[in-house]
């Protein structure tokens, strides 16, 4: 009898331990890029555990498919990714290798974040082929460079978390409401800083800033790449230099993971300013959140444009 009681208490204790573990287990979220990961942490708080497959300083088009990333996906309850074929070259093999049915397309643990965006830009109107460069047939995937898109992303993540973890639904709703309120306040602040520079003409390295330009009211009049993903030839660079000189374009923008030599040369030859901007959470020290990212982008762009405007005014006064 005593042995029976001891066995009973051991089993009961193990059951309690398992139940307690399950009760406090966090929802494991894996994001393809850090921007989604940061928003997921904002919504999930201490109820989630978040890991990003890529680093902020990496080109999200190209990420090494390391075995450690497969392990992270194998344990994931929810996968967040950009979609629109941005991660086409590296994410699908990782998902296959992970052997995790939760995160397969169509299942609750698979969230293509592009499906949450109400206005995808640059949807091709003709058949896409390789001669056009690295064109995404579903539209431009760099939608997180418009901070307004952070709101539908946050709502989509909250909805999915409530499906996976319904017991904490009210917690996720409360966190979502706080995040949306704070982001709307910051968007208003950033808008006010950008207002004086509406209709600024810029050149970017890759066609990755179209959402930012759409929000900021900038006009993209050229690209360092002749076609997306295609390196510029000397003749193309010479033509672009002539265009910038003729049209007096004063700002060139690129991310840190693109080659800096050519845009720096173009800036030198034309008198334009070359600005290397952050495009992701974690790209450098001090950019730890989605809010930090746009504080940096807006701050650096407006500071540079203010400097350019001041110099132009000084030149006109001297004449």
pLDDT digits (tens, 9 = 90+) for 78-134: 999 999 999 999 999 999 999 999 999 999 999 999 999 999 999 887 776 666 667
In the prediction, which pLDDT does 6 show? 46
By the 8 A CB rule, do 201 and 133 touch? no
Query: What span, in angstroms and rounded, lies between the C-alpha atoms of 193 and 301?
Result: 10
Query: What span, in angstroms and rounded, lies between the C-alpha atoms of 32 and 10?
Result: 43
In our burial notation (b when 16+ CB lie closer than 10 A, e otherwise), range 32-60 reads bbbbbbbbbbbbbeebbbbbbbbebebeb
Model confidence, pTM: 0.88
In the prediction, which pLDDT does 19 show? 41
Domains and CATH numbers, the chain: 2-190 (3.40.50.1980), 194-318 (3.40.50.1980)
For 66-76, the pLDDT digits (tens) are 889 999 999 99
Q: Is the pLDDT of residue 5 over 90?
A: no
């Amino acid at each position: 009898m005593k042995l029976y009681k001891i066995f009973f208490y051991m089993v009961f204790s193990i059951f309690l331990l398992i139940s307690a573990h399950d009760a406090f287990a966090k929802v494991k979220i894996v994001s393809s890029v850090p921007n989604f990961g940061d928003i997921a942490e904002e919504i999930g708080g201490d109820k989630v555990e978040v890991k990003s497959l890529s680093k902020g300083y990496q080109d999200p088009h190209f990420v090494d498919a390391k075995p450690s990333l497969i392990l992270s996906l194998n344990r994931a309850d929810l996968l967040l990714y950009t979609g629109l074929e941005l991660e086409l070259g590296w994410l699908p093999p990782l998902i296959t290798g992970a052997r995790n049915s939760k995160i397969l397309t169509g299942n609750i643990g698979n969230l293509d974040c592009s499906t949450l965006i109400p206005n995808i830009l640059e949807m091709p109107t003709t058949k896409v082929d390789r001669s056009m460069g690295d064109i995404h047939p579903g539209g431009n995937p760099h939608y997180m460079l418009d901070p307004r898109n952070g709101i539908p992303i946050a709502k989509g993540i909250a909805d999915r978390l409530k499906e996976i973890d319904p017991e904490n639904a009210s917690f996720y709703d409360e966190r979502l409401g706080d995040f949306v309120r704070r982001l709307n306040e910051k968007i208003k602040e950033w808008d006010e800083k950008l207002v004086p520079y509406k209709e600024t003409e810029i050149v970017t390295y890759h066609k990755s800033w179209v959402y930012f330009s759409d929000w900021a009211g900038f006009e993209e009049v050229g690209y360092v790449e002749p076609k997306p993903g295609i390196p510029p030839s000397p003749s193309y660079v010479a033509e672009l230099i002539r265009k910038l000189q003729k049209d007096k374009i004063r700002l060139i923008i690129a991310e840190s993971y693109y080659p800096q030599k050519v845009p720096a040369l173009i800036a030198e030859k034309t008198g334009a300013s070359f600005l290397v901007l952050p495009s992701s959470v974690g790209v450098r020290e001090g950019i730890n959140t989605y809010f930090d990212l746009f504080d940096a982008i807006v701050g650096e762009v407006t500071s540079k444009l203010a400097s350019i405007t001041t110099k132009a005014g000084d030149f006109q006064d001297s004449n």
